[in-house]
Structure 1
Amino acid sequence: MKRLSALFAVLLVAGPLTAETCTTQSQMQAAERDGIAAAARTLAAALQANDAGSIKTRSSAELAGNFAGLASLTGDTAPKLKGAALAVESVWLLDATSLKPNSDGSAATGQFFCTLNQSSAETDFSIAGLPAGKYAFAIVNAAGPNAWRISMLLRDEGGWKLAGLFPKAATSAGKDGLYYWTTARSMAKQNQPWNAWLYYQQAAALLQPVGFVSSSHLEKLQTEASTTAPPVLQKGVSVDQPLVLRATDGTEYRITGFGFDDSSSKEKVDLVVHLKVDTAGDAAATRKRNSEAARTLVLAYPELRSAFHGVWVSSESPGASPFATEEPMENLR
């Protein structure tokens, strides 16, 4: 299940923010562009082959020295890339050689503003804790039975070395981010604010390569989502600011987040609801509570029936593992 933030995660960091130098692929020398693309393609192929050893040898010293997490990510991702055709979509050169550390000696945030071909369109990077150096960012598309996008941060250490790997699905229920964006617009016009807001969320989740990347297009999406959001969602939903639903029997359900899941249906996604509870309880009681929470949500906002296959509810309490159950829409009457 994929958890979504209220809209976009806002990166808050201590220390000075200074703009470094960004070079887009159209502005690069061919040799430099081809070198970045070749390194990205080689790493993506190693990920597809589940070759953690090859990835480690092509990783930065810092990443190779703490490789367990990346090895696990490689094993989890490789099966999803099986049979996919890999193609480098975009590369950027990010020069942070003059980036100064924070006053406390910690690595600063690298800010890169990348204007596309002298136009008003921008892709921007805000990378926290970035040591001074020369970097590149690359996106590799994996087209196949499961469309994926492999984003990576590279560091020049006498050759391009992996400094961060960010693979993610490019579709949900077989549909890409542009589909969810255009459908959200249609839903807004049809006076379906809940469906529109949620589909905008999914569009953002699919279109944003990684949290430290923003763009003119994503900002436009954010503006549209904010404009069409229902009043109860205009400030977002979070653990600190849950959406409180009251059932007909007076029971209150505190929703801390939403997400999408396509494991139950390949035609239409399920809505994922993160439910804050004080205690986990036994399995039977938790299953019943989850079902009632899903029913209360759909009865309060019946437009959800047309946009989703069903509702997953994940009960989450301190110190306990989440307990998730799914209810098809036809059961939520």
Structure 2
Amino acid sequence: MDTRKSQWEDSRTPPWLTRRADGRNSASSGAESDSEGSSTESERVTTDLHRVTCPRARGGAVLPPPHPHGVDSKALSTQRRITELDQQKEELKIELQLEVALLQGELQTERERLHKHTEQLHILRESRQKPTYSNTQQERIKLEKERVRLEEMKTKWKEREKLLTQTDGKWDTETQLQLQQEKEALDGAVKVFEDWEFRVLEMESSVEEERMEGETEREISREQHAINSTQERVRQLEQQLKEMEKEKEKEISSLREEKRELLHQTHRVLKENKPVIDSSNSTGSASTMASLSPLANHRAVQDMSGSTRRRSSHRKVSERPMSVQGEACKSVALRSVK
């Protein structure tokens, strides 16, 4: 009877209440299986995470993220060229300012020299307007005629004075008065003649000096030549200054146009390669995530382990009421058999 009871009890014992040989029940074994399964699953997830976030080449090396090296190098080269163009433009401006200042200084000096020569030539030409030798000769002829006339007047006056002396002053008063007037006129004519003669002598002296030296004409010739040379030099400097300004402006315009073309080309290249740059940015973000993948994978494993532990604990909590219910059923069965 006890044997049948024992067999019946064994047959009536629920499988989840059977004990294992090592003393652990099937629920704990299931928990361990779940834990092992969760651990395996975590390892698989970790492996999957590493496989997804860490791209590798055939040899096992980590692949670098795609990067538009061509675009960057071209942009850097263009930027360097633009900097060189700006520097060349500034150097050209400084060089132009220096050369223009030198030319303007030389031009100002030549203009002052031209003004000086022009004034000297004007003075020489005025001095050349003085009486020439022919004019002096004519004055000399007139002077000699006046001299002859004065000599005649003197002779007549002397004769009349001599006649008056011979008559012992018996001339009438009117004749004496007339003789006195002739004497005064003769003295006045002599004085005028002397002044005139002095001027003629000065003219002859001046003309003689000019004829002997010839400085006036030579000075005029030299000044005229200097004026012509200075005018030609001024004209050349003005033309050179204009050509230099045009040449430098042309060079600066060429540099400015090249800079504008480079900027336009850079803008076009950046616009064309914008998808590549966006892809590079996305790949860079993925690479950053890949570099952080050990930490992320560790967190993922912890999350999976935590969820497994929570699931195992939940199973244990749900199985305990069932075990109690099984014990209650066993007690009821034993009572009924008894």
TM-score (norm 2): 0.13
- More helix, by proportion: 2
**Which structure: larger Rg?**
2
Alignment TM-score, normalising by the size of structure 1? 0.13
